[in-house]
Structure 1
Amino acid sequence: MIYLPVDSLDVRHNFALEYYLMTEKQPSEPILMLWSTTPTVMLGKYQTAENELNRPFITAHHITAVRRLSGGGTIYNDQGGCQFTLITPNDNNAIDFSSGLSLIMQALNRIGIKAQMDSRNDLIVDGRKVSGSAQYLTAGYRLHHGSLLFHANMDWMAQALKIDPVKQKAKHIQSVHQRTVNLIEQQPTWTAATFKQQLKQALITITHAKTGRLTPAEEAHLQQIATDQFNESAVWAANSRHFDHVHKTYLTGIGVVCVAFNLNKQNRFTALKITGDFFSNIDLQHFEHALIGQTYQEATVAPIVTRELQQAPIKGLQPKQLTALLF
């Protein structure tokens, strides 16, 4: 394993670094990174900003907003916490959090923080969430990145993020504070910098990682990737299309799934959009186009849904569940 130091506090730079390593550098052994950001909200690939983010608060407090290339839910972090990234050569195109979460959990336990894995992609301490994870895949590689809250501004988090009413009802969540906690409660004498350094040393000890470096030319290249792939304006790009039918649910172990669609007088799909905080590498435009023009009948739709999800699964979601949601 290679430990790659990251000094930038710009989330766009750091997401660009992940993307560069996955698609261009393509290392022959796993890469481990720890990094921090200025106050930032990170929107999941398949989410809609207006449903997840309090834009007036984010704008007023100069919080950076960015869309990840991974699925999952929206998170907030700042210099009071840190992010971890694990990039692993991988021939299996399935999303799997187990090995990455196990490593982070082991490192946290090593520094006196008794974290446990919970649900599909979280780490918890005393029943409350301290870390959320997400993944995406490219040809031959898996990227697993996630947040660790040490002394993050929980008030800003609560005001910057919205809780989806469907998830709120399903999980009996009243607020962000109810389900998340800062790790400083476990190590009250540490600063966020101390926590990050302790975690780094634990991870290097466990993995026997060697330290790597980027060249100045590589660093310069990241700026272009950040502009091309992680432009902040794209987060707020308005979707003005009105949908006549909106079906939304929360599925345990899968997340929020929402399908919105329009039908013409012949009862055929004229527009379709799928959003949510699920995990997948699915090309939703391809999926949506596969249904446009098709008759809104379960016998017609079910085989198409099955075919598309076989090619690019949504983690934990069975084709019959998505078909049932459509109807």
Structure 2
Amino acid sequence: MYYVKNERNGEEIYDPTYNLAIEYFLLNEKKLDEPILLFYINEPSIIIGKNQNTHVEINEEYVKEHNVHVVRRFSGGGAVYHDLGNICYCFITNDDGNSFRDFKKFTDPIIDSLHKMGVEGAELKGRNDLVIGDQKFSGNAMYATNGRMTSHGTLMFDVDIDETTKVLKPKAAKLKAKGVKSIRSRVTNIKPHMDEASQDMTLHEFRTALLLNIFNVANLDEIKEYQLTDQDWEWIDDFRSRYTNNDDWNYGENPDYEIIRDERTTAGQIEFQFNISKGKIKEAKIYGDFFGLGEISDVEQALIGQDYTRENLVKVFEGLNIKNYFGNVTAEELADLASL
């Protein structure tokens, strides 16, 4: 496995619009002969899931007032808050056809490393969360394209949790499903749970310890690295300007819809928005924190022009590879949610 530093001219990058562009570059353009591991630390930012409605997920007034970055990633899942007390990790590899949604495969090296630092209660729980007890310290997501995939997640080492509650607006259904009343009560930092020898670690020292454990080496110079070239940076700069640093991508359109149907399902939060004319679907938009392999716009296009009845919606969904787009949910469940 190769390790890639998110550095340019010897300087580490903390801008999420660059860091997410680097990850996308490594996934799509840099096919090395072994998997890739990327770590990065972001300035205060909200990273939005690919299929989420940015305007609904964030406290826009607070975010703009405090210059918090808002960047949409290419994987599904929910919105997460990053700051200089958080590390993001990304495992990038070929898609073997069996690993998508297998979060255990990619989180086990992280959990094993934490156990070695005294965080004995760290474990994968539910769909994609790493927890200590009932408190989450890491959210994970995946994205696959063109035979390649990335499994990436956050590690809340010493995050300002109070700030998280100010920038995000969690849906009540999500909190209810987890049996808690607020973001603050369901998350924790890693640092307080580490052994006494690790309590004085800085975030960068914590990253070093993770690297040594994951690569099973005694020194950093034993780790195989790939260094980004000037040509790589040309691609990254162009991609950043078109996507991760572009409000059209990060916020998207927010038109008014006549019908909004929103519910938490076995596949995650799913929201349908429709404009209906003469009993037919004129416009359709789908949001959520589900993990899909395909482009959700395919489903939206399949719905346009269809009769807006439960029976017909079932037929439409049955004609699509629903598990590919949404995960573990049936055509009947989707039709029940989407119809009035």
Alignment of 1:1-327 (within 5 A): 1-6=1-6, 7-92=12-97, 94-114=100-120, 115-187=122-194, 188-205=199-216, 210-234=224-248, 235-240=250-255, 242-252=256-266, 254-265=267-278, 267-310=279-322, 312-327=324-339
Q: CA deviation at 1:326?
A: 1.6
Measured against aligned partners, the alpha-carbon deviations of 1:180-228 in whole angstroms (never above 9, x if no partner) come to: 001111233222222112112111218x852221212212331111111
Distance 1:300 1:177 in 2: 42
Distance 1:13 1:236 in 2: 17
Are the equivalent residues in 2 in contact too, given 1:280–1:314 (CA < 8 A)?
yes
Distance 1:58 1:69 in 2: 21
Q: CA deviation at 1:36?
A: 0.5
Distance 1:142 1:103 in 2: 17
Measured against aligned partners, the alpha-carbon deviations of 1:125-148 in whole angstroms (never above 9, x if no partner) come to: 122101001111011111111100
Measured against aligned partners, the alpha-carbon deviations of 1:237-293 in whole angstroms (never above 9, x if no partner) come to: 4412x22222111124x221111212222x111111111111112322221111111
Q: CA deviation at 1:2?
A: 0.9
Identity %: 29
Distance 1:275 1:295 in 2: 21
Q: CA deviation at 1:105?
A: 1.1
Structure 2 counterpart SS, 1:33: strand
Distance 1:317 1:95 in 2: 14
* Matched AA of 2:50: K
* Matched AA of 2:299: F
| Alpha-carbon RMSD | 1.8
Number of residue-to-residue matches in the alignment: 323
Distance 2:316 2:67 in 1: 44
Distance 1:47 1:291 in 2: 19
Q: CA deviation at 1:232?
A: 4.2
Measured against aligned partners, the alpha-carbon deviations of 1:90-123 in whole angstroms (never above 9, x if no partner) come to: 1317432121111211122122222101011110
Distance 2:234 2:281 in 1: 45
- Assess, with a 3 A threshold, how the Cα gap between structure 1 residues 233 and 261 changes in structure 2: closer, same or farther: same
- Structure 1 length as normaliser, TM-score? 0.93
- Assess, with a 3 A threshold, how the Cα gap between structure 1 residues 54 and 311 changes in structure 2: closer, same or farther: closer
Are the equivalent residues in 2 in contact too, given 1:35–1:82 (CA < 8 A)?
yes
* Matched AA of 1:136: Y
